[in-house]
Amino acid sequence: MNRNYYKLIIIILLLTVNCLLFSIPCNAHFPEGQVYLAYNFGNITPTIDGREDDWSKVGPSYTINTEDMYEVLAGMGKLGSGVDLSDFALQMKVGWSSVTNSIYVFAKVYDDVHIVNKPPGILGWGTAQDGIVLYIDADHSGGKYSLFNGAGYTAEDSYRYENSQAQSPEFSYPNLDGINQCVTTMATWYYEPGSPFMESAFTYNGISNGAGTTTYEIRMGPLFDDLYWLGLDNSKTHTLKQNEIFGFGIELFDYDTPTYWDDLVWSKMIFPKHKDWNLNGQMKAIADASYFSDFLLSPPEVSVNNTSWGRIKASFR
C-alpha cells in the first residue's frame, strides 16, 4: 500500500475522533454555523395554558422573530425580500427542563387572514391550513425519519419508522372538532389528548378567516430516540442534558384563501398557494432530520446572543 493510502486512513480517523470528541454526529444542520438557545427553566416550568406570563423572564437572546425566518415559497424573510409584519408576524421562544425532561415552546403569531377550516375527522392537516409544525431530533443524529411510503418501502416500514427516530408534531387552532395536535405516526398513544408526552394549549384573539393572533404553548417530553408504535416498552426515550445540542425545526404556514379545502387535489397532492415560513431555509426537513436547526440546552440564566457553533465549542474546552 502506498503512502497516500495511509494518509487517507489517518484523515478519516481524525475526522471520526473529532466527531466523537463533541458527541455530535457529522450531519449538516441549517442554517450552517448557527446555534439557537433553549432557555433553562429548571424546576420552575411553564403551566401549559396558552398564556404568555410564564415566558416573561425569557429574554431576547432566546427569542425568534419573523426576521429570523425564511419564507421558502415566495422568497421572503431571510431569503431576500424582507418581511411584512402586517401580513404575518411571529414571536417564538424555546425552553427546556431536566426536572421534567421536556422541551417547552411558546409562539405568538399574528396573521391578517387566519385560516383554520379543517373538516372534522381529518388528522394530518400539515401543510393544508395555518398552523405550526415542530421537528425534534433529540439525539441530534440526523437522517431520514419520515415519508417511508414510496418506492422501496413496505407498509411495515411505514408503521415502524415513520416519526420514529425524530418527531414532527403539528398544531393548529381553533379546529371545529377540537383536534388541534397530531403526529404522522401510528403511535397514537404518543400524541392523543391526555398523553403524558405532549401537552398543548392555545388562545385565538380575532375573527374566523380574518385578522387575529394565535398563541401556542406546548410541552413535549420525554422525547424519543426511537418511537415505536407498539408502545412505550418498545420505544427508547431520551434524557436531556445541559450544554448538549439537539436538532429542532420550526415551520409555519400562512394561507390567505378561506376556500382552500375545496381547492385541494389530494390525488395529486396539490395545495393552494400559501406562504411557508421556516427556521432553516430548507424544504427537506419534512423527511430528513439532517436539515433541522441546532439548539443548545442552555445552563441556567444564560444571557448571550445567538452565536456560532465554533464559539460554543471553544467555550467548552
Which residues is 260 bridged to in the sheet? none
78 and 69 Cβ atoms separated by less than 8 Å = yes
Query: What pTM did the predictor assign?
Result: 0.83
- Tell me, what's the pLDDT at 214? 97
| 29-316 under CATH 2.60.40.1190, yes or no | yes
- Tell me, what's the pLDDT at 124? 61
Domain ranges of the chain: 29-316
- DSSP characters over the chain: --HHHHHHHHHHHHHHHHHHHTT--S---SSTTEEEEEEE-TT-PPP-SS-SGGGTTS-GGGEEEGGG-EETTTTEETTTTB--TTTEEEEEEEEEETTTTEEEEEEEEEESS----PPTT----GGGSSEEEEEEETT---SB-S---STT--HHHHHHHTTSSSB--EE-S--TTS--EE-SSS-HHHHSTT-TTEEEEEEEEE-TTSSEEEEEEEEE-S-EEE--TT-GGGSEE----TT-EEEEEEEEEE---TTHHHH-BGGGTB----EEEESSS-S-TTTBGGGSEEEEEPPTT-----EEHHHHHHHH-
Q: Going residue by residue through the chain (317 aa), what tens digit of pLDDT does each one get?
A: 444 433 333 222 333 333 333 333 445 577 787 899 999 999 999 999 999 999 999 999 999 999 999 988 878 888 777 788 999 999 999 999 999 999 999 999 999 999 888 878 776 665 678 999 999 999 999 999 888 887 788 988 888 888 889 999 999 999 888 888 888 788 888 988 889 999 999 999 999 889 999 999 999 999 999 999 999 999 999 999 999 999 999 999 998 887 766 776 666 656 667 888 999 887 788 889 999 999 999 999 744 554 444 444 444 43
- Tell me, what's the pLDDT at 79? 74
